[in-house]
Amino acid sequence: MGKVTFHIAVSLDGYAAGPDQNLDDPIGKGGMRLHEWLFPLAVFSGTGEGEVNESTPVVQAWTANIGAHIMGRNMFGPGRGEWDESWTGWWGEDPPYHTPVFVLTHHEREPLTMKGGTTFHFLTDGIESALAQARQAAGDKDILIAGGASTIQQYLAAGLVDEFELSVAPVLLGRGERLLDNLGASLPEVEQVRAVGAPGVTHLLYRVR
Amino acid sequence: MGKVTFHIAVSLDGYAAGPDQNLDDPIGKGGMRLHEWLFPLAVFSGTGEGEVNESTPVVQAWTANIGAHIMGRNMFGPGRGEWDESWTGWWGEDPPYHTPVFVLTHHEREPLTMKGGTTFHFLTDGIESALAQARQAAGDKDILIAGGASTIQQYLAAGLVDEFELSVAPVLLGRGERLLDNLGASLPEVEQVRAVGAPGVTHLLYRVR
């Protein structure tokens, strides 16, 4: 059975997104600054152009063995309430997932098949059911909780995450969505697997006991 | 002129102390867990007994060039309000500072000279005045803001810190005193100097621009 993982960029003060998410600021105001270390990398550009540094193998490992993704509705788009079915995600015709993606929502919607192997399935029956369906789709491969902060919190609080990586950017946001918050009374016990310092970021990998 | 620095252990969720500081829990409930990586080290024991690992040179650097310390009253002791003059700090007759220590308080008290070169000066005229006095005492050496979280926040928010190190422990506390909070509207701009992964901790060094 594959692992359940997540990886996410956070500010030094622990925010995974800035405040006021909207069409112009998909990660909230200032949220893009959490990813500045990523944009110059060849592994990000997809064209082979760009830098290779200590972040390169870390980023490559993130996509190495993923068989399904889970994300919250607020990561899929800025809309709330009933679906605007013209919205097909932030990522254009060929989203960067290339697996089934299970979107947690309170509003039913037919599956949405995109190019490149990404199909969005909209699930309304909670995080455990979504994980069961993701496991079935993933087979022996790993399941990536793609985000956002609230979805990750729910899986962490439920004890359903095996391993996770925080990419700590040298940025203070002051407000926004704090990642490691709302975890309830029985906090996960974690151990540090390794740390990688890279230009403009440090990658911290943890295993949940 | 020396640098103004601080170094502090934080949990993965950003707490520098657990909740409910008292005589039995000087760093709050669970706060000692932030320092578990430190206790086995020879550089901590003071006797030469113990481990040497990647944390050793990091810890050695912390004390290498310090000419004065500044701390908040709540770090000096658990009392509040008027002084109980029988309280001379948590650290016994020979505190680990070996320099003048400027304690920020609202209540006047005569200086307290301890063994080993530590003298506690109790200052009631604010953080900038305390820094000026610490600079005079330190000469060309650096000034360490010893803590706790609230004192560090005040110096960071005032733009008076040059460099700082966070030692991130693989622990979730869930509540307590968050370090990087209450920094006001003009947040410090920081750059990452280096990261050191060590057993049970990662040390992240930042420079304030």
pLDDT digits (tens, 9 = 90+) for A155-165: 999 999 999 99
pLDDT digits (tens, 9 = 90+) for B104-138: 999 999 999 999 999 999 999 999 999 999 999 99
Listed residue (A98, A89, A113, A101) closest to A46, CA to CA? A98
pLDDT digits (tens, 9 = 90+) for B62-113: 999 999 999 999 999 988 999 999 999 999 999 999 999 999 999 999 999 9
Paired tokens of A11: 């500010």
Query: Residues near B103 by Cβ (< 8 Å), separated by ≥ 6?
Result: B71, B72, B73, B76, B120, B121, B122, B123
CB contact under 8 A, A187 and B194: no
Of A181, A192, A195, the CB nearest to B195: A195
Task: Report domain A1-12+62-79+94-209's class.
Answer: alpha beta
Give domain B4-21+65-82+94-182's CATH architecture. Answer: 3-Layer(aba) Sandwich (3.40)
Of A180, A189, A202, the CB nearest to B204: A202
Neighbours of A150 (CB within 10 A): 18
Min CA distance, B163 vs chain A (Å)?
A: 13
CB contact under 8 A, A173 and B195: no
Of A13, A171, A195, the CB nearest to B14: A13
CB contact under 8 A, B188 and A172: yes
pLDDT at A32 over 90: yes
Is B25 or A100 the better-scoring residue by pLDDT? A100
What's this model's pTM, rounded to 2 decimal places? 0.94
Of B13, B188, B202, the CB nearest to A204: B202
CA angle at A148 for the pair A129 and A78, rounded to the nearest 5°: 100
CB contact under 8 A, A194 and B197: yes
Min CA distance, B62 vs chain A (Å)?
A: 20
Q: Report domain extents, chain A.
A: 1-12+62-79+94-209
B168 CB neighbours in chain A (<8 A) are 168, 204
pLDDT digits (tens, 9 = 90+) for A180-192: 999 998 899 999 9
CA B56, CA B40: separation in Å to the nearest integer? 11
Helical ranges in A54-148 per DSSP H: 55-62, 73-76, 127-138
Note the pLDDT of residue A22: 81
Please, is A82 exposed, middle or buried when counting C-beta atoms within 10 Å of its C-beta (0-12, 13-18, 19+)? Answer: exposed
